[in-house]
Amino acid sequence: MPAQAGIQKYLTVLDSRLRGNDETTVVQSFLGSLDSVKWTTELRSGVAATSACKELALANDCCYDFPSPVRKETVIVTGSNHRRSTVKKLLIAVALLAGCAGTASEQAPVRISRPGPGPTQDELRNDGWNTDNVLTYGMGYHQHRYSRLKEINKSNVRRLVPVWNLSLSSNFGEQGQPLVYNGVMFVTNAEYTTAIEVATGKQIWRTPVGFDPAVPRVVCCGVSNKGPAIYNGKVFRATIDAHLVALDQKTGKEVWKQKVVEWKEGFSMTGAPQVANGVIITGISGAEFGIRGFIDGWDPETGKHLWRTYTIPGPGEKGHDTWPVGDAYLRGGASTWITGSYDPELDLAYWGTGNAGPWNPTVRPGDNLYTASVLAIRPKTGEIVWYFQFFPNEMYDLDANWEMIIADIPVNGVKRKVTMQLTRGGFLYVLDRTNGELLSAQPFEKINWASHVDMKTGRPVETEVSKRYRDGEQIELWPSQWGAKNWAHAAFNPETGLLYANTMHVSRLVRHRPVEYKPGQRYQGFENLPAPREPGLPMGHMDAIDPMTGKHKWRTPIMEIPNYSAMLATAGGLLFTGKQTGELIAVDIDTGKILWEFKTGSGINAQPITYTHKGRQYVTIQVGLGGVNAQRMVQQLTNVPRGGSVWTFALFDQ
């Protein structure tokens, strides 16, 4: 259908979308809904449309000026005092430009979406442009956890109220990130996969997982699930007993199910799958149980296993010589339980790896690749294109599983393609994501196990504290194995250039101990005791951090129980995150001041999202105390009830 023929259809939607929203939000949402418009590669990437197309738009009095280059996220309206009519004219111009540009014989058309089941690979790649949907883990392949929405902002966030709440019928705990597609929300926990009507909170279907009651004994740090993936009419999820399942989006019925590995050997799966270049990528948990970690690729249509890349190289593989002679590599750890990011242009997925096994380093001399590393892999084959090891011969459970945030940022005055991680060990690493070159590694928390990172070798320079530990002495470790930052994901705001994270300020008394491997049992060799704490010392912070320097723009102390919820940043000048005592909070992104909070029915250790529905902005969070900190701080959390649910919020209409 020509773009012009569909204009009136979309104008009907515009009046409702303009109410209470700024022009940028409306433009973004509208552009995402142009499902019949062919966007050329050149137009979508920002190259100006042809002169003929511009003249056509101007001849129709569509707008005062149409900027060059044309970008969906930066269209500006000027020369009019009538917001609604001007935006209408602008969008007519966009549709006309898209329509006529798509007729040029030298241009290859690309559709935003197509009829039939979805989302498509193009929709996944463009996650965030259509604000009605949240299609990927991290709210975009880049894992920024950032939204351009600003209907909810610093000036009105006090009017934020719950609009619906749905029980998830589980007491294990909620850590997931919901996904939203075409008005339906998909939510997972350890026990169920649930589809929910966004407008009302009504459950559409719920599919139980079903697993052996003995499985939790091989789960290190809380029975949980981080979320689903959606693609081509299916919902994909991992299970705690190490299966990958595909469900029909409309009915919740099982399409296929594949056993990944035997759980009785210490394996489990808690992470969200990733769909990259038409392949499902999954990781594995179990480094505390002496597993050999890996990353898998799967065919989304059939469930066929396409490839497996071991994160501990075997005989004949590059890196195997970093392990001692013998079979230590078979129990070397390097789990992959946090979903990676993906750069479609480079066709590289970036997955972090976990701690080495056992934690006692004396039984595995060497660098122990690819523990505590990031791997850049090809989705189609699992080929490791490059790697970077953050902590050779890792020995404190200071692994590198956390999210690899990708962005283009200035480095020494030059824009570089980077990937960033706030590591558990307290250093903020910035790497060139094309080749793994180390660009920066600065501390963002208190560290005593290393003095700095050598920029030539990329290796942390260990202190006398680490030497004493290697010699078998008890030490006070900063940060502890809790991490300077744990799994709770950071957000990156491309407008401020800052990272926002819940961090921790905790030490422990540790020493390594002898350990014997027994299948399905913990394989750590680590004594871990509380350390004396100075009165009034924060347990953690909410931080705004410069990626290249590690310095804080602001820090908000958290005194008693550290936050284990991910951060969400918005163009409304807000951060959303949660407390394990049950409060969802909105924070001023410029100062760290808490502007609003709402007490939910249980603890929050999950991942907030924001999106639009019929022109209105919503914020959603899964609620339900669980995870590793619910085990560590039982006494402090004893009066926080269990019970999973989904809470959704919007502005109260005055």
Q: Which tens digits make up the pLDDT trace of 524-547?
A: 999 999 999 999 999 999 999 999
The answer, yes or no, to whether residue 129 has pLDDT greater than 80, is: yes
pLDDT tens digits, residue range 393-412?
A: 999 999 999 999 999 999 99
DSSP 447-477: --SEEEE-TTT--EEE-HHHHHHHTT--EEE
Q: How far is CA 639 from the centre of its chain?
A: 30
The answer, yes or no, to whether residue 333 has pLDDT greater than 80, is: yes
Whole-angstrom Cα distance, residue 451 to residue 449? 7
Q: In the chain, what are the domain boundaries?
A: 4-112, 146-651
The answer, yes or no, to whether residue 119 has pLDDT greater than 70, is: yes
- How confident is the model at residue 50, as a pLDDT? 36
pLDDT tens digits, residue range 190-213?
A: 999 999 999 999 999 999 999 999
Q: Does the annotation count 397 as an active-site position?
A: yes
pLDDT tens digits, residue range 18-45?
A: 444 444 444 444 444 443 333 333 333 3
The answer, yes or no, to whether residue 484 has pLDDT greater than 70, is: yes
Cβ-contact 387, 318 below 8 angstroms? no
Q: How confident is the model at residue 654 (pLDDT cuts 50, 70, 90)?
A: low
DSSP structural state of residue 32: H
The rounded mean pLDDT for the chain is 87
DSSP structural state of residue 497: T
Q: Quick one: average pLDDT of 605-634? A: 96
The number of residues in the chain equals 654
Whole-angstrom Cα distance, residue 567 to residue 557? 16
pLDDT tens digits, residue range 561-600?
A: 999 999 999 999 999 999 999 999 999 999 999 999 999 9
Please identify which of the residues 241, 296, 367, 397 carries the catalytic annotation: 397
- How confident is the model at residue 20, as a pLDDT? 44
Q: CA separation (Å) from 598 to 206, 481, 573, 603?
A: 27, 31, 18, 12
Window from 77-86, 277-286, 493-502 with minimum mean pLDDT: 77-86
Phi–psi pair at 345, nearest 5 degrees: -65, -40
pLDDT tens digits, residue range 215-228?
A: 999 998 889 999 99
pLDDT tens digits, residue range 443-468?
A: 999 999 999 999 999 999 999 999 99
- How confident is the model at residue 116, as a pLDDT? 62
- How confident is the model at residue 74, as a pLDDT? 33
- How confident is the model at residue 564, as a pLDDT? 96
pLDDT tens digits, residue range 136-158?
A: 999 999 999 999 999 999 999 99
Residue 109, SS3 per DSSP: strand
CATH level 2 (architecture), domain 146-651: 8 Propeller (2.140)
Candidates 235, 225, 279, 272; CA nearest to 257 is 235
DSSP structural state of residue 213: T
pLDDT tens digits, residue range 629-641?
A: 888 999 999 999 9
In this predicted model, which residue has the larger pLDDT, 206 or 91? 206
